[in-house]
Amino acid sequence: MSATPLRVPVEGLAEGAATLPDDAARYVTRVHRLGPGARFVAFDPARAVEADVEVVSSDRRATRVITGPLRPASVRATQGLTLVQAIGKGDKLDEVVRDATELGATRVVPVLAARSIARPTDGDARSRRWRRIAIEAARQSGRGDAPEIEVPTSVADAIGRFATGRGVVAVCLDPTSAVPLGRVLARLAAADEAVVVVGPEGGLDDEELQAADRAGVARVSLGAFVLRTETVCAAVLGAILVARGAGEGDR
Amino acid sequence: MSATPLRVPVEGLAEGAATLPDDAARYVTRVHRLGPGARFVAFDPARAVEADVEVVSSDRRATRVITGPLRPASVRATQGLTLVQAIGKGDKLDEVVRDATELGATRVVPVLAARSIARPTDGDARSRRWRRIAIEAARQSGRGDAPEIEVPTSVADAIGRFATGRGVVAVCLDPTSAVPLGRVLARLAAADEAVVVVGPEGGLDDEELQAADRAGVARVSLGAFVLRTETVCAAVLGAILVARGAGEGDR
């Protein structure tokens, strides 16, 4: 893994000569101390493209580079995977965004559930922060794309917008359900867009569960062990990743 | 979940009148302020038994209780699941022990891999700490048992002791493997004892991988995304939990 080239996220990546955006310039020249002639791989997570880049010059004001031809990112999610996740206490969603990015999520929808204890009022700022976390996690995991991070919304709105439609199979974790996740996993994994709804520590309330029922979101259980909400994310996304055949012919 | 009775781990739980051990007494009377007449469920994670308990009296020196008949823990792991996990930086293994307990592990073997950065010399003290974390995670997840935590050892020793034998199916995560985990998951999940070996951030070295090969431990990949070692644990144990049918008839 030490042979892996340095990967740097660059928004609006384009072939040719350019000045690196400030963040990327700082990362390349200060953190990694690359100078003229050094090479790295830049990726644009919003478009899932990447390119080889060479540093041409660097001083206090600007780092100039030449970017080679863009190519599709070599490592990226190839099937849709949306995580609708209740915002938990403190920084829990930071960790969930990191895990979800490593495990192939293509969209994260933070929701304020009826029983969510945290009720942030600065939703837009939070989403920007989670976007930065997702891009950094994408960089670390070698992904050339990153999950989209929505602005926090209600469970019912998230289900209405993301858990229905053609090619979508959606499940909602409900510890009281008699349906084990294993029973629908193959169908979920085969979907163009798999959607997983994870409630807060106290679970989704009746109204939220009914919204799920009405939208055709299957209530499923992970068994008798009570899991923390962040463990649910990694466990379920891990099960989907494996069921989708991760590792089949990608090396 | 608020209707769930208070659960308290008590080592050496026995039917009849007794004085609660100090830890349990503090937890029951100080943290939860239970007084005479109050009831809770005590569980002995080492033996996976539990019992209803009534507080008889409580003062500064002692909390006396009457313990009802012992019964097998209602929620417990029913198949063996051993996690052999390289010790990572800082407190990472704390989080891994928590996740593994929630996801049904019955044994955690911390290993000092060749590429482990952390090299603790106080292995016994660390294991005691991880045991306490496992018992607390068992309490929170409603389990009446807890994974055994071994004393840190080498990868080769852990494989020799835990990854071979009758009824054991073992895998070792290796990002360079051409075998996806999904291809062996059913066999792993069906095993009396599933063993998962997870290396440190830099991966297992050649010698360790060869020890795995010699012991018949299958090298498997989770795909092209580079995962942090703690994410690997939750993802793989989640996949096994689901494949073992968690949620089938346990309510």
Q: Please write the tens of the pLDDT for every residue from A210-235.
A: 999 999 999 999 999 999 988 999 99
Residues A65 and A92 occupy one common structural domain: no
Q: What is the mean pLDDT of residues A118-133?
A: 86
Would you give the distance in Å from CA A206 to the centre of its chain?
A: 28
Q: Indicate the pLDDT class of residue A206, thresholds 50, 70 and 90.
A: very high
- Tens of pLDDT, residues B31-61: 999 999 999 999 999 999 999 999 999 998 8
In a domain, A116, yes or no: yes
User: Residues of chain A with pLDDT > 70: what percent?
Assistant: 98
Q: What is the mean pLDDT of residues A177-189?
A: 96
B35: domain range?
Answer: 7-72
Interface touch A225/B180, C-beta < 8 Å: no
With CB atoms and an 8 Å threshold, state whether B223 touches A241: yes
Q: Are A65 and A91 part of one and the same domain?
A: no
Q: Are B48 and B90 in a shared domain?
A: no
Residues B220, B147 share a domain:
yes
Same-domain pairing of B49 and B109: no
Please report whether residue B180 resides in a domain: yes
Confidence of residue A124 (pLDDT cuts 50, 70, 90): confident
Of A22, A47, A72, the one marking the end of a domain is: A72
Per the domain annotation, does B251 fall within a domain?
no
Q: Residue A251: its pLDDT value, please?
A: 45
Give chain B's residues under pLDDT 50: 1-2, 251
Last residue of a domain, one of B39, B72, B105: B72
Summarised one tens digit per residue, pLDDT across range B49-93 is 999 999 999 998 899 999 999 999 999 999 999 999 999 777 889
Domain assignment present for B38: yes
Name chain A contacts of B182, Cβ cutoff 8 Å: 242-248
User: What distance in Å separates residue B122's CA from the closest CA in chain A?
Assistant: 29
B3 to chain A, any CB pair closer than 8 A? The answer is: no
Query: What ipTM was reported for this prediction?
Result: 0.93
**pLDDT at residue A249, as a whole number:** 67
Say if residue A90 is in the same domain as residue A141. yes
CATH number at residue B50: 2.40.240.20
Chain B positions in Cβ-Cβ contact with residue A224 (cut-off 8 Å): 75, 142, 246-247, 250-251
pLDDT at B2: 44
Statement: residue A2 has pLDDT above 50:
no
Q: Is residue B24 part of a domain?
A: yes
Pair A113, A172: CB distance under 8 Å:
no
Q: Confirm whether B47 is domain-assigned.
A: yes
Residues A114 and A236 reside in one and the same domain: yes
pTM for the complete prediction?
Answer: 0.93
Q: What is the mean pLDDT of residues A43-70?
A: 95
* pLDDT given at position A1: 40
Instruction: Mark yes or no for CB contact B234/A236 under 8 Å.
Output: no
**B107/B58 same-domain check:** no
The total number of structural domains in chain A stands at 2
Q: Which residues of A touch B176 (CB under 8 A)?
A: 251
Question: What CA–CA distance (Å, rounded) separates A81 from A189?
Answer: 9
Residues A230 and A127 placed together within one structural domain of the fold? yes
Q: Identify the CATH number of the domain in which residue B123 sits.
A: 3.40.1280.10
For A148-171, how does the pLDDT look when each residue is reduced to its tens digit (9 = 90+)?
999 999 999 999 999 999 999 999
Quote the pLDDT of residue A3. 56
Residue B84 lies in a domain: yes
Q: Are residues B43 and B114 in the same domain?
A: no
- Measure the CA dihedral B31/B32/B38/B40, to 10°: -90
pLDDT tier at A201, thresholds 50, 70, 90: confident
Q: Does A248 touch chain B (CB under 8 A)?
A: yes
In a domain? residue A250 = no
> Which of B18, B42, B72 corresponds to the end of one domain?
B72
Asked whether residue A190 carries a pLDDT value surpassing 50, the answer given is yes
Express each pLDDT in A74-101 by its tens digit.
999 999 999 999 997 778 899 999 999 9
**According to the model, what pLDDT value does residue B3 have?**
56
Position A66 scores a pLDDT of 97
Instruction: Give pLDDT, residue B248.
Output: 81
Best A231, A237, A240, A251 member to test B by mutation, with max B CBs in 10 Å, is: A231
Beta bridge partners of A223: none
> What is the Cα Rg of chain B in Å?
20
- pLDDT, position A88: 79
Q: Give contacts of A 185-204 with B, CB under 8 A.
A: 185, 202-203
Decide: A230 and A96 in contact? Cβ < 8 Å: yes
The distance of A59 to chain B (nearest Cα, Å) reads 33
CA angle, A196 then B1 then B233, to 5°: 50
* Whether residue B86 sits in one domain with residue B21: no
Judgement on whether residues A58 and A177 belong to the same structural domain of the protein: no
